[in-house]
Amino acid sequence: MKNEELVEKLYHFLEERLYLVVLDDIWETKAWDELSHAFPRGKVGSKLILTTRNHYVTRHADPHCVVHEPRSLTDDEAWELLSKKTKIKEESTSEEVIELCKLGKEMVKRCGGLPLAVVVLGGLLATRSSLQEWKKRHQNIGMQLKAAGKEGDQQQGKVMSVLELSYDDLPYHLKSCFLYLGLFPEDVDIRAKRMIRMWIAEGFILSSEIDREHTVESAGEEWLEELIERSMIQVGERDTDGRVKTCRMHDMIRELCLEKAREENFLEILSLSSPSNLKGLSSIPGTDASKVRRIALHLEIELSELEWKIVCTNLPLLRAPSVHEFENDSRRIEIHIIPQGVGDLGPSSGISGEAPKGENQGR
């Protein structure tokens, strides 16, 4: 359904009703402009709540609206959160622990009382237990946050600076796994088993590089747990045996993930609302399409056999094409026609897509 049709349908649905609607995480004025016509004006008793990280969005939506800003954490609350994450015990009489607490309190003050910044900082420090390593992080975060304070939104800059430090601190093998998460659409629960299988298919986890006590699958589970421990990924749900069943990314962490993925030519995201836009796959700005190995298509449409052929022929080195529907959370789109071109992908390690009953395997 096109946006215009959805707006009209929602307007008629709300027209005869009192409503309470929450629009969560509106980043830009453009998004509000596209949605605002769906809500009948002047209906006494109806309420619209909009959440955003950008003040100018609220002023644009309604200059006279009531703005509620969640209060920041106090220094004591922020330190309590950090100490829980790092498992540091302030009551210890050890000179090293006393010094660690002093450094931690100084670093947490620089987070401006922002919970996400504190949690991610805690994930960073939790993997570094020595005093020397904490001193190094203390120096780095001071430099990063000082630079962030000179740019635009200081609060957002503080969070992104801590996220940058946490990304830079990731071991090499975890960086690839983290960047790969950018493939999944925003605000979806990612199935852990499927994601680990995709890491393996991409060659991020090699049996030759792990010890005999581990399989590639168990190594993938450990790597996922380490990303969770570092607060780079959030747990959605766990199985009864404690294993991660689903996970997700905070929107700001995903923003960092996509930024780093683009910088390192790791992953390109194209959001397509029309089949005709597929023609642009062969001329992605700044990219030699003949060398593209992975691409994520976030679709509002289903691909025909011809459109799949466009993808396969223009991007000959694809390893793991992945297709998602917006409405279908983290589940894969149903491919009713599997074109001949998919079978000719050569170096492909995996195609993401569920094959439903009665699929037509291309002629």
What is the residue extent of each domain of the chain? 3-61, 75-168, 172-251, 267-361
Per-residue pLDDT at 53 exceeds 50: yes
Largest pairwise CA distance in the chain: 74
Per-residue pLDDT at 224 exceeds 90: yes
Q: Is 172-251 in CATH node 1.10.260.40?
A: no
Q: CA separation (Å) from 102 to 83, 135, 207?
A: 12, 10, 43
Q: CA separation (Å) from 107 to 5, 110, 145, 189, 204?
A: 50, 5, 10, 32, 33
> Where is pLDDT greater, at 221 or 137?
221
**Strands, E assignment, 211-303:** 234-238, 244-248, 268-272, 295-299
- Same topology for domains 75-168 and 172-251, yes or no? no
pLDDT value at position 334? 41
CA 217, distance to chain mean position in Å, is 22
Per-residue pLDDT at 178 exceeds 90: yes
Best CA proximity match to 311, nearest among 326, 324, 299, 295: 295
CA 170, distance to chain mean position in Å, is 16
Best CA proximity match to 249, nearest among 262, 237, 234, 236: 234
Fold classification of 75-168 is: Helicase, Ruva Protein; domain 3 (1.10.8)
How do strand 244-248 and strand 234-238 relate by DSSP bridges? antiparallel
C-beta atoms surrounding 335 within 10 Å: 21
**Strands, E assignment, 184-329:** 190-191, 234-238, 244-248, 268-272, 295-299, 322-325
Question: Average pLDDT in the 192-205 region?
Answer: 90
Look up the pTM and report it: 0.69
> Where is pLDDT greater, at 45 or 146?
45
Q: How far apart are CA 12 and CA 16, in angstroms?
A: 8
Per-residue pLDDT at 280 exceeds 60: no
pLDDT value at position 240? 92
Q: How far apart are CA 225 and CA 227, in angstroms?
A: 5
Quick check: helix, strand or coil at residue 228?
helix
Per-residue pLDDT at 277 exceeds 80: no
pLDDT value at position 20? 93
> Where is pLDDT greater, at 321 or 83?
83
pLDDT value at position 228? 93
Rounded to 5°, angle at Cα 316 from 312 and 320:
70
Least confident window among 245-254, 260-269, 289-298: 289-298
pLDDT value at position 342? 45
